[in-house]
């Protein structure tokens, strides 16, 4: 696994913790909540003549001191309200005087918290970035205190026990509050609660230690130019040289990926794969074993039989047994196709290298060789057909047409950089304002480097019936037009843009009554499904032509033959690659479902069983360099495949053949995006599909486009 992937996973965990703060650390009485939000809005409004976004409480361009002051006001307000809620006598508690004010302030306070936190992702000012990070630290610290307040838990528990609900969604909301407190140990004795907190701190320390060990960037291997045959000149130019004239290849993900995919020398590929696969060896192996033991103890204290039961309980899959069944079904159904793919690669290696056995380290190289032979795809040339402004215009048009929306750019809105654009979103039929989104998509020093969507304000329905509109921010690092030369997107960036803009629409089209269930605040097994459905538009000829055009003459879209090749390329060797991912998912689920597992022997057993007889690469220790199981995705590595499988079912069943069908698009908007986290995901998908979701469409798609 790559170091960069580990970093992004660590960030994902921090992001998740920050969301927890915004949604559980904000408890207040309704009047106080409204007054607080209004005063924060007005204090900033006086400074600018820029156009306001009606209904948005997001503040931009706060100074470092304003960020810190706002964070402190949020904390003081939260503490005061927690105290008031906790003081309600147990015989007087009701939904309206305990749970309802909490829900109102979750909606009111979230955009203010995000106003403190998101500047560190986009600001070019070091001072603003530092203030934003410090504000987040203070807010996180306060959230931790709030999560341990037994007095607040007691009154919420009392409300839940009464069972007097305003609606099914209100019941769901109150129960989620109780569940969150109890997953923090608030229903345990003081002694056990302290043990839960101690274990959690130890687990966090070990997770970070595992990642820190992997992030050692100093290790390198030495190779002669002959040993690097097949690597492009530009790659070699980027390498340092040792005193003996050999090239230094660092064991970092980008270097290793290039070596395994492009190097013609089998022994070099094997040497790199072995060195990369045994990083941190015994050190991280010990860390992971200790970490898993602590997780099992933690789960047992909270009433679960093992950590996998704890981790999967609140996810769409519900139980580890369902996860195992799912992974094994996919693996079995793909075995014939994966065998065909592997034999094709083995035959090619035999032609090029003789009787040298095929190993796992050969997968990337020979898969690319076959793709070069089978597909007429030059991704460098393909880039010429994706000018960033043309792609963006096409994406906006497609999403408007399919989902019955109208996007309107707000030219004079206040933004943090001149490159940032702001759009309002309206329902095309009723002209109701649905929300806003910011686009900060061009490269800029100091900005967050990955493409992602940040929820700045969640949608919610207030007690008086007024709807708070969602606000989203899409961040990327695309090259913009400079000196008459258009910024061009790689095809992978086009797909990524489609995916992330899918999250924007997912956030804005949500109609849940509670901010806690709004937009991207949905089941983690479900959250990626809508965006993965929408990725399919990038492989359909009709829609590809809408977002493409040769940069010197945009009236010339991408050719039909290229569109067909892209669809086939998408699925090339997908069964074999998926088998490899399933291997790691099974490993992750097994170690978190049973205790005292020998992780080294487990990998040796699983590898040939899943990978069609291919043994684990001798000398490597995959368990020591598998960050997804150490942080953020522990016992949940299966979730990416889960999302992809059910996204395939949705597209094949509803959109295939007519991806711009607005009737189906509106059903998707209303039935899949609309409920958010207010309904069980399986109910959402079954309602849209007219049946329970199935793996069959996913399996069929792999076979249909096989080589």
Give the model confidence (pLDDT) of 648-670 as tens digits. 999 999 999 899 999 999 999 99
Q: Is the pLDDT of residue 33 over 60?
A: no
Q: Is the pLDDT of residue 5 over 90?
A: no
pLDDT digits (tens, 9 = 90+) for 681-692: 999 999 999 999
The pTM is what? 0.91
CA torsion through residues 39, 43, 44, 45, sign: positive
Determine the pLDDT at residue 308.
98
- Of the pLDDT bands very low, low, confident and very high (cuts 50, 70, 90), residue 27 is very low
CA torsion through residues 511, 515, 521, 526, sign: negative
Q: CA nearest 435: which of 408, 454, 475, 411? A: 408
Question: Residue 181 in contact with residue 187, Cβ under 8 Å?
Answer: yes
Give mean pLDDT, residues 317-330: 98
Q: Report the percentage of the chain scoring pLDDT > 70.
A: 93
Question: Residue 403 in contact with residue 659, Cβ under 8 Å?
Answer: no
Alpha-carbon gap, residue 593 to 587, rounded angstroms: 10
Helix axis angle for 64-86 and 150-162, nearest 10°, is 50
Q: What single DSSP character describes residue 553?
A: B
Q: CA nearest 510: which of 463, 538, 472, 475? A: 472
Give mean pLDDT, residues 563-586: 95
Q: Report the percentage of the chain scoring pLDDT > 90.
A: 83
Q: CA nearest 685: which of 664, 697, 668? A: 668
Q: Is the pLDDT of residue 23 over 80?
A: no
Q: CA nearest 436: which of 456, 420, 464, 465? A: 456
Determine the pLDDT at residue 281.
86
Q: Which long-range contacts (CB under 8 A, 24 or more apart) does 656-659 make?
A: 656/536, 659/402, 659/536, 659/537, 659/540, 659/542, 659/543
Alpha-carbon gap, residue 146 to 82, rounded angstroms: 8
C-alpha 647 chain-centroid distance: 15
C-alpha 140 chain-centroid distance: 21
Q: Is the pLDDT of residue 24 over 80?
A: no
Question: Residue 582 in contact with residue 327, Cβ under 8 Å?
Answer: yes
Q: CA nearest 175: which of 636, 678, 674? A: 678
Determine the pLDDT at residue 42.
52
Cβ burial of 163 (10 Å; 0-12, 13-18, 19+) is: exposed
Determine the pLDDT at residue 48.
56
Determine the pLDDT at residue 17.
39
Q: What single DSSP character describes residue 51?
A: B
Give mean pLDDT, residues 128-149: 95
pLDDT digits (tens, 9 = 90+) for 271-300: 999 999 999 988 999 999 999 999 999 999
Report residue 575 as tokens: 């069964």
Q: Rounded to 10 degrees, what is the CA torsion of 421, 422, 428, 431?
A: -150
Determine the pLDDT at residue 481.
86
Q: In this predicted structure, which of 254-258, 432-436, 554-558 has the lowest mean pLDDT?
A: 554-558
Q: What is the mean pLDDT of the chain?
A: 91
Q: Report the catalytic residues.
A: 500
pLDDT digits (tens, 9 = 90+) for 167-187: 999 999 999 999 999 999 999
Q: CA nearest 144: which of 197, 106, 67, 210? A: 197
């Amino acid at each position: 696994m790559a170091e960069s992937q580990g970093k992004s996973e660590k960030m994902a965990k921090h992001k998740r913790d920050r969301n927890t703060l915004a949604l559980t650390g904000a408890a207040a009485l309704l009047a106080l909540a409204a007054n607080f939000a209004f005063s924060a809005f007005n204090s900033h409004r006086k400074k600018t003549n820029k156009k306001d976004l009606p209904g948005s409480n997001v503040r931009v361009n706060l100074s470092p001191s304003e960020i810190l002051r706002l964070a402190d006001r949020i904390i003081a307000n939260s503490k005061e309200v927690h105290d008031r809620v906790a003081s309600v006598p147990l015989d007087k508690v009701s939904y309206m005087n305990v749970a309802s004010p909490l829900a109102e302030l979750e909606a009111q306070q979230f955009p203010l918290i995000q106003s403190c936190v998101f500047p560190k992702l986009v600001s070019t000012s070091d001072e603003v970035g530092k203030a934003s990070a410090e504000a987040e630290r203070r807010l996180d610290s306060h959230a931790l205190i709030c999560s341990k307040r037994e007095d607040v838990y007691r009154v919420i528990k009392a409300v839940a026990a009464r069972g007097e609900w305003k609606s099914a969604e209100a019941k769901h909301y109150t129960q989620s509050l109780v569940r969150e407190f109890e997953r923090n140990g608030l229903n345990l004795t003081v002694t056990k609660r302290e043990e839960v907190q101690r274990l959690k701190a130890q687990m966090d320390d070990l997770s970070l230690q595992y990642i820190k060990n992997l992030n050692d960037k100093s290790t390198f291997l030495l190779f002669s130019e002959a040993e690097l045959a097949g690597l492009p000149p530009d790659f070699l130019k980027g390498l340092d040289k040792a005193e003996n004239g050999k090239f230094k290849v660092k064991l970092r993900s980008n270097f290793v990926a290039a070596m395994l995919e492009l190097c013609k020398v089998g022994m070099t590929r094997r040497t790199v794969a072995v060195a990369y696969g045994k990083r941190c060896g015994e050190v991280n192996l010990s860390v992971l074993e200790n970490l898993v033991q602590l997780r099992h103890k933690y789960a047992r204290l909270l009433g679960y039989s093992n950590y996998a039961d704890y981790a999967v309980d609140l996810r769409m899959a519900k139980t580890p047994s369902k996860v195992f069944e799912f992974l094994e079904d996919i693996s079995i159904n793909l075995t014939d196709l994966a065998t065909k793919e592997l034999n094709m690669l083995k035959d090619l290696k035999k032609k090029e290298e003789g009787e040298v056995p095929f190993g796992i380290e050969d997968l990337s190289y020979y898969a690319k060789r076959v793709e070069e032979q089978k597909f007429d795809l030059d991704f460098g040339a393909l880039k010429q057909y994706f000018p960033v402004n043309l792609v963006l215009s096409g994406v906006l048009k497609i999403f408007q047409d399919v989902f019955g929306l109208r996007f309107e750019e707000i030219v004079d809105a206040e933004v943090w950089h001149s490159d940032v654009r702001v759009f309002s979103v309206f329902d095309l039929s009723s002209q109701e304002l649905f929300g806003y989104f910011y686009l900060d998509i061009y490269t800029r020093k100091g900005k967050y480097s990955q493409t992602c969507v940040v929820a700045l304000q969640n949608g919610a329905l207030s007690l008086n019936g007024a709807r708070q509109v969602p606000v989203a921010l899409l961040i990327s690092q695309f090259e913009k037009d400079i000196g008459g030369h258009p910024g061009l997107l790689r095809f992978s960036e086009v797909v990524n843009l489609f995916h992330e803009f899918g999250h924007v629409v997912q956030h804005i089209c949500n109609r849940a009554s509670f901010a806690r269930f709004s937009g991207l605040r949905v089941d983690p097994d479900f959250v990626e499904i809508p965006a993965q459905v929408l990725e399919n538009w990038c492989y359909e000829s009709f829609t590809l032509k809408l977002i493409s055009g040769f940069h010197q003459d945009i009236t010339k879209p991408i050719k039909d033959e290229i569109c067909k090749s892209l669809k086939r390329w998408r699925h090339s060797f997908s069964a074999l690659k998926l088998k490899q991912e399933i291997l790691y998912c099974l490993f992750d689920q097994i170690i978190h479902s049973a205790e005292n597992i020998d992780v080294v022997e487990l990998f040796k057993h699983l590898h040939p069983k899943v990978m069609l007889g291919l043994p684990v690469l001798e000398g490597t220790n995959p368990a020591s360099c598998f960050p997804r199981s150490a942080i953020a995705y522990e016992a949940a590595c299966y979730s990416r495949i889960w999302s992809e499988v059910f996204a395939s079912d949705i597209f094949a069943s509803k959109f295939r053949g007519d991806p711009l069908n607005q009737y189906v698009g509106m059903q998707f908007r209303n039935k899949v995006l609309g409920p958010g986290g207010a309904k069980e995901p399986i109910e959402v998908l079954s309602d849209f599909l007219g049946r329970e979701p199935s793996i069959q469409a996913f399996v069929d798609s792999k076979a249909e486009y096989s080589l």
